[in-house]
A and B are shown apart, each in its own frame.
Chain A
Amino acid sequence: MTKQNQAPALASAEDVQRLENVFADTSATPRTRAWMLQKAALGVAAAGLAGVAAGCGGSSRKTTSTAASTMSHGDTIKSVIDTAITAEALAVTYLSAVIKATKPSDKTGPFVSVLKAANSAEYDHYKALQSLGAKPLTLKFWAPNAFFGPKLSGVFPTLEVAETLFVNAYLIGTTVFAKAGKADFARYAGEIGGVEAEHLALARAAQQKIPNDLGFMDYSIDSMDGIVKALESAGVGFGKQGSKPGTFVHFTAPTSDVLTPVSNGGPA
């Protein structure tokens, strides 16, 4: 993860990637695509293309990423997997930062092995979703300072909220995939959702709360749009500044020092 405290450039790496995603889904010729991407990479075409990336006509740069990730009133397989991989990128980015920042005396100190295993799992989810054709809508996130806090006291309360939303998101996934007759995808969502549920329980245990406080996992949100909004309410920004004081962070593939081996690196 790379922290960026300055205001976001309009044509940064994630913008280029988002454009590439959009082009890949359109019939733009390779020449047009290459030319546009080059322009974007140079930062000269960003303003004009922000609305393209939004896909549903977001009128300002500020709303581009969110609009792209929440454009569906009814979720589709694509909206689910694209939102899911974006959330997994967020999780890897955050967990990697937490693990790197942890000192033995911090609240997270006794749980580094659990955090590393969680990070490995989230990164495996990211790669599995990528292999299924998912494309992150952004790789740049606004992380509120409160997600870290003094002695990293904000980490487990943050994870409890985030993992609850992630479990909910994969329940949406199971539903959408089942409706689409994609039983294998529905099961993959179940395989991932179970792991996110484990993380939720462990985040609660680390706060000295009873870890298993549910008879059924929470499904209070029934659209990926709702999941994104809930994360934004918590202060997260997807490719834009969030609602609370914080900083921009960038997803990068995690290094070995923030991971630990886990079993079942892909769906069965």
Chain B
Amino acid sequence: MNRHDETAFLGSEDVQTIENALTDARVPVMTRNVLLKRAAIGAAASGLLGFPAAALAAASGDTVDSVVTTAITAEALAVTYLTGVVTQVKGDPVDKFRPVLKNALATEYDHYNVLKSLGGKPLTTKFWAPDAAFKPENVFATLEPVETIFVNAYLVGITVFSNAGKPDLARYAAEILGTEAQHRALARFAQGKLPNNEAFESYALTTTKQHVAALEKLGIGFGKQGSAAGAFYKFSPPPPSALGSVENSAPA
């Protein structure tokens, strides 16, 4: 995780977002290269302000693409946050549960890699995270609602993939969902709460747009400043020392 003290909007993740959009729009290679070059040198910054979150939440009806794209963006967020927690946050209860957190990080990174292999492209890899989320006493209270939202998101995925006639993708979503549900329960356990407090996982949100809004409500920003006092953090592959060891690093 890299903390960004400046808030310029044309970092590498913005270029990546533009590249994703241009690739999907089948813009001619020459035009694409020119635009990317201009983006990379920051000439187009003002016009793109806020683009990632808007694009993330643009779809009113979800598609396979919107679900995969939102999912990989969320996994990038999870990897970014957990890398920060594992490598930089000291003190209980984080210290007590660091092996669990390292395994959770390894799992989220596996999800990111698999979604990428399926063609997923994150809409941003720069996130605004509230400062409070990095206080050791707040880590699990942060993870609980986030993991609840992630579980819900993969339930949307199962629904969308099933409706699209993609049973394998539906199962992949369910395979991921189970691990997110475990993280949710363990986040509750670490707070001294009854960990398994539900008979059915929550499906209160029915679109990826709602999921993005719910995460923003927690103070998170997708490529833009969030609502709570915080800082920008950039996704990068976690260092090996931050990763635990998990089995089944890909869907069956």
Do A266 and B162 touch (CB < 8 A)? no
Bound Cα distance from A225 to B163, whole angstroms: 26
Q: Which of A82-138 contact B (CB under 8 A)?
A: 113-114, 117-118, 120-121, 124-125, 128
Q: Provided the pairs A178-B166, A187-B159, A190-B177 are in contact, do residues A264 and B200 lie with their beta carbons within 8 angstroms? A: yes
Do B174 and A217 touch (CB < 8 A)? yes
User: Interface-forming stretch among A19-27, A204-212, A240-248?
Assistant: A204-212
Answer yes or no: A11 CB below 8 A from chain B CBs.
no
List the B side residues contacting A250 at CB < 8 Å.
none
Q: Provided the pairs A194-B201, A199-B196 are in contact, do residues A213 and B171 lie with their beta carbons within 8 angstroms? A: no
A168 CB to nearest B CB, Å: 9
Do A219 and B199 touch (CB < 8 A)? no
**CB < 8 Å neighbour of B179 from A118, A186, A214, A268:** A214
User: Interface-forming stretch among B133-141, B180-188, B224-232?
Assistant: B180-188
Name the residue of chain A whose CB is nearest to the CB of B205. Answer: A268
**CB < 8 Å neighbour of B158 from A190, A197, A213, A218:** A190
Do A117 and B194 touch (CB < 8 A)? yes
Range class of the A interface residue count: 35 or more
Bound Cα distance from A199 to B181, whole angstroms: 10
Bound Cα distance from A63 to B100, whole angstroms: 43
Q: Provided the pairs A174-B158, A201-B182, A215-B248 are in contact, do residues A210 and B195 lie with their beta carbons within 8 angstroms? A: no
CB-CB contacts of B147-187 with A at 8 A, as 1s and 0s?
00001001100110111011110111111111111111110
Answer yes or no: B244 CB below 8 A from chain A CBs.
yes
Do B201 and A212 touch (CB < 8 A)? no
Q: How many residues of chain B are within 8 Å of chain A by beta carbon?
A: 59
List the A side residues contacting B248 at CB < 8 Å.
214-218
Q: Provided the pairs A214-B247, A265-B200, A268-B202 are in contact, do residues A113 and B194 lie with their beta carbons within 8 angstroms? A: yes
Answer yes or no: A182 CB below 8 A from chain B CBs.
yes
Bound Cα distance from A82 to B40, whole angstroms: 58
Q: What is the total of A-B residue contacts with beta carbons within 8 Å?
A: 204
Do B246 and A212 touch (CB < 8 A)? yes
**CB < 8 Å neighbour of A217 from B167, B178, B194:** B178
List the A side residues contacting B33 at CB < 8 Å.
none
List the B side residues contacting A114 at CB < 8 Å.
194-196
Bound Cα distance from A114 to B165, whole angstroms: 37
Q: Which of B185-229 contact A (CB under 8 A)?
A: 185-186, 189, 194-204
**CB < 8 Å neighbour of B201 from A118, A182, A190, A217:** A190
List the A side residues contacting B196 at CB < 8 Å.
114, 117-118, 121, 195, 198-199, 202, 262
Answer yes or no: A36 CB below 8 A from chain B CBs.
no
Do B104 and A212 touch (CB < 8 A)? yes
Answer yes or no: B110 CB below 8 A from chain A CBs.
yes
Do A186 and B158 touch (CB < 8 A)? yes
Interface centre among B106, B155, B168, B250 (most CB of A within 10 A): B155
**CB < 8 Å neighbour of B200 from A174, A199, A216, A266:** A266
**CB < 8 Å neighbour of B161 from A178, A194, A199, A265:** A178
Name the residue of chain A whose CB is nearest to the CB of B180. Answer: A194
Answer yes or no: B126 CB below 8 A from chain A CBs.
no
Do A216 and B250 touch (CB < 8 A)? yes
Answer yes or no: A237 CB below 8 A from chain B CBs.
no
Do A187 and B107 touch (CB < 8 A)? no
Do A174 and B195 touch (CB < 8 A)? no
A63 CB to nearest B CB, Å: 30
Answer yes or no: B249 CB below 8 A from chain A CBs.
yes
List the B side residues contacting A10 at CB < 8 Å.
none
B176 CB to nearest A CB, Å: 6
List the A side residues contacting B166 at CB < 8 Å.
178
Q: Which of A129-188 contact B (CB under 8 A)?
A: 167, 170-171, 174-179, 181-184, 186-188
Known: A171-B175, A267-B203. 17 other contacts (CB 8 A): A114-B196, A117-B196, A174-B170, A187-B158, A192-B201, A198-B185, A212-B104, A214-B246, A215-B250, A216-B175, A216-B179, A216-B252, A217-B176, A217-B178, A264-B200, A266-B199, A268-B203
Pairs of residues from A and B, 7 with the lowest C-beta to C-beta distance, nearest first: A197-B178, A194-B181, A268-B203, A215-B110, A124-B199, A217-B178, A219-B252
What are 13 pairs between A and B in contact, CB < 8 Å? Answer: A124-B200, A174-B174, A177-B162, A187-B159, A192-B201, A193-B174, A195-B201, A201-B182, A202-B185, A216-B110, A216-B250, A260-B194, A263-B197
- Residues of chain A touching chain B, judged by Cβ–Cβ distance below 8 Å, are 113-114, 117-118, 120-121, 124-125, 128, 167, 170-171, 174-179, 181-184, 186-202, 205, 210-220, 260, 262-268
